Amino acid sequence: MKTRFNFPTRILFGQGVLDDVAEELLLLGAKRPLVVTDQGLMNTELPERLINILRVAGLETAVFSRIEPNPTDAHIDAGAKAFSEHKADIIIGLGGGSPLDAAKAIQIRIHHHLPMEEYDDLADGDAKILAALPPMVAIPTTAGTGSEVSRSAVITVAAADRKVVLFSPRLMPAVAVCDPELTYGLPTRITAETGMDVLSHNIEAYLASGYHPMADGIAVRAIRMAAVHLPKAVENGKNQTARQEMLMASTMGAVAFQKGLGVVHSLAHPLSSVAGLSHGLANAIMLPHAVRFNGKSIPGRVALVANAMGGRDTTVDGAAKALTDLVKKIGLPTKLSEVGVEQKQIPTLVKKAMEDGCHASNARECNPDDMEALFKAAM
Ligand SMILES: [Fe+2]
């Protein structure tokens, strides 16, 4: 048995660590950072606060804030241009999954000029990521994707209307600056949806096939943290402990899913691209059904998920029910029909779910009939 591990990233974690970010940049030898973020963040005080911290340390900072949800290759080209114009020497990704993924793609774009789809992981694109990448510091403002410690980024190629997954150990940020204070102001609904992405990453990583006991251990601990603290963070966004534990569980999730994800993410991706659901909500609705599906081949592992969640019923049904109860408790819908998905969309959803790469590491093999049954069960 052969395997490869790449972790962990250097992580600064805790309330107020944003204040230490300049020191990290100086340690990396940087002088001219480009901050990559989005308009939503620009409407808060955070970018100005970050620029001030960097200015005091003598760093000349520029901001590129034209990243939108589901960033496209056009955003990446514009970001790379901003990097060159500023003569920047480091990228700071500030925000949720979209700005962090965009920052990673801009890192590649500086010295790699093929069309973005040439770097797609499905086409062994990482073998073409050979030139230097400027270093990147990631500052997450949501507890969700864990992009601050992951080695992948998803970019939409607008002309082809398809998503490209960039995947390379070289995309892991040099430093992740995880300050839970930056998540205190997240709205309730976003907290709930992104929090279910956190739980999905950890459960999928734990259930994934393959040998990675280190990832398994991290995932089980983070499943517990998310099950306990997500309802508390939803109930009161200012609950410091709950926000801290959710941000840590998010970071742990992305470390754990180095092992792989599974069918939940393959079902969720088309629910976003075809039916417009947010990624976290799509995961939240599909997770209990996928756990029931996987329970047929790995009941022992599913029982341990139920146990980690604190449930008394550690059967497969008990695990699925505990997940549905959690989704209800945090105020999210549990059925696809409640969020506008229609029966007639199922064939397209099935086709795209099969094309998605995540289920390759699912514990149980999935065929189109399985995908269809899972979508129908969730209607
Ligand atoms: Fe996810």
**The pLDDT of residue 360:** 94
pLDDT at 366 over 80: yes
What tokens appear for 65 in the block?
A: 């804030």
Classify domain 10-182 by CATH number: 3.40.50.1970
- Ligand 1 centroid to 342 CA: how many Å? 23
Residue 6 — pLDDT band, cuts 50, 70, 90? low
Give yes or no for a contact between 75 and 69, defined as CB atoms under 8 angstroms apart.
Answer: no
Class of domain 188-377: mainly alpha
The tokens 């998803």 sit on which residue?
Answer: 154
**The pLDDT of residue 284:** 98
- Ligand 1 centroid to 366 CA: how many Å? 19
What ranges do the domains of the chain cover? 10-182, 188-377
Residue 35 — pLDDT band, cuts 50, 70, 90? very high
Across the range 192-207, mean pLDDT stands at: 98
**The pLDDT of residue 25:** 97
The residue among 270, 294, 267 whose CA lies nearest residue 283 is 267
Question: Which residues fall within 8 angstroms of residue 170, CB to CB, at 6 or more apart?
Answer: 126, 129, 133, 151
Choose the weakest-confidence range: 160-164, 236-240, 270-274, 371-375.
160-164
pLDDT at 320 over 70: yes
Question: Which residues fall within 8 angstroms of residue 238, CB to CB, at 6 or more apart?
Answer: 184
pLDDT at 85 over 70: yes
pLDDT at 63 over 90: yes
- Ligand 1 centroid to 279 CA: how many Å? 7
Length of the chain: 379
Give yes or no for a contact between 248 and 223, defined as CB atoms under 8 angstroms apart.
Answer: no
**The pLDDT of residue 50:** 98
- Ligand 1 centroid to 268 CA: how many Å? 8
Q: What is the pLDDT of residues 166-186, one digit of tens each?
A: 999 899 999 999 999 999 999
pLDDT at 162 over 80: no
**The pLDDT of residue 301:** 96
- Ligand 1 centroid to 12 CA: how many Å? 22
pTM: 0.94
- Ligand 1 centroid to 143 CA: how many Å? 11
**The pLDDT of residue 181:** 96
